[in-house]
């Protein structure tokens, strides 16, 4: 028996706040880490879920992914039908827009679902069910990227999930705007933002990152990038950092989900 498609989109309308170039850090990371999977596919499909009041992020996602996977197609999915209607003017080869929500109403499973700044309005207990629903819509080697950033994309934290569930958490920032790594706490995704308290793994991670950042202060004379890279290298001694200097130079660090998840470590 075929599962029934919900008659109404699943989810609630977001505030819709969006700005051009806001998701550049997330997009660059996706292109670098998931580009090979997109290139291997015959008809790679990506979804910009909850793109907001204007479709800038979907347009930009298409351009950034096509730089590494020229055959990729992007569908912007929005739960507000008025936003979908307004976005039709931006439809072009490789880019379409569709009314829907967490059910992701596409005829085939996408290789990528990006959901940025969508779950912040939900309660923490709701997150796991949303993740499960979205992961179930992924292709076998697909990726869900869910996270939060500030209004102009200087600070961003996201979780990467496969069909089996969460894999990693990435912290990304414009280094020139950073006072200390724990400044990123305000942009933790919903699954973690209320867990930044003593006794929780993500709080311990940010505490250790701040300590490593302070210890790396002598490297500040060579620039914020060198200080960040030195601090991250120090973290690798006690935390499961899964990326390397090439990503650190971008103002990023990625750790395994299990190390910072509620109840982890």
Instruction: Give, in order, the Cα–Cα distances in Å from 154 to each of 41, 57, 104.
Output: 32, 15, 28
User: Running along the chain, 265 residues long, what does each successive block of 10 average in pLDDT?
Assistant: 57 77 97 97 96 95 98 97 96 97 96 96 94 97 97 96 98 95 97 96 98 97 97 98 97 98 81
Residue spans per domain, the chain: 1-163, 175-265
Q: What's the pLDDT score for residue 121? A: 87
Sheet containing 252-256, strands listed edge to edge, beginning at the edge strand earlier in sequence:
95-99, 73-78, 45-49, 112-116, 143-149, 155-162, 165-173, 252-256
For position 265, what pLDDT does the model report? 63
Predicted pLDDT at 7: 64
* Residue 32 neighbours by CB under 8 Å, 6+ apart: 68, 247
Residue 19: what pLDDT? 81
**d(C-alpha 216, C-alpha 200), whole Å:** 25
The CATH-assigned architecture of domain 1-163 is 3-Layer(aba) Sandwich (3.40)
């Amino acid at each position: 028996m075929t599962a029934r498609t919900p008659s109404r989109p699943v989810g609630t309308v977001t505030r819709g706040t969006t700005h051009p170039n806001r998701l550049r850090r997330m997009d660059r990371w996706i292109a670098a880490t998931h580009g090979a999977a997109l290139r291997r596919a015959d008809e790679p499909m990506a979804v910009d879920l909850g793109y907001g009041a204007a479709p800038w992020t979907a347009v930009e996602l298409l351009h950034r992914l096509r730089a590494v996977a020229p055959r990729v197609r992007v569908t912007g999915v929005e739960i507000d039908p008025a936003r979908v209607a307004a976005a039709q003017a931006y439809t072009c080869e490789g880019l379409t827009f569709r009314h829907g929500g967490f059910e992701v109403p596409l005829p085939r499973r996408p290789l990528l679902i990006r959901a940025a700044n969508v779950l912040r309005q939900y309660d923490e207990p709701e997150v796991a069910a949303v993740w499960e629903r979205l992961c179930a819509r992924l292709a076998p080697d697909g990726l869900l990227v869910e996270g939060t950033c500030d209004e102009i994309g200087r600070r961003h934290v996201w979780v990467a999930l496969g069909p089996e569930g969460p894999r990693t958490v990435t912290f990304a920032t414009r280094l020139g705007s950073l006072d200390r790594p724990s400044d990123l706490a305000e942009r933790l995704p919903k699954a973690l933002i209320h867990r930044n308290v003593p006794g929780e793994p993500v709080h311990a991670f940010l505490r250790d990152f701040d300590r490593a950042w302070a210890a790396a202060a002598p490297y500040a004379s060579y620039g914020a990038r060198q200080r960040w890279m030195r601090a991250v290298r120090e973290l690798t001694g006690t935390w499961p950092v899964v990326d390397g200097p090439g990503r650190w130079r971008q103002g990023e660090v990625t750790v395994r989900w299990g190390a910072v998840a509620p109840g982890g470590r």
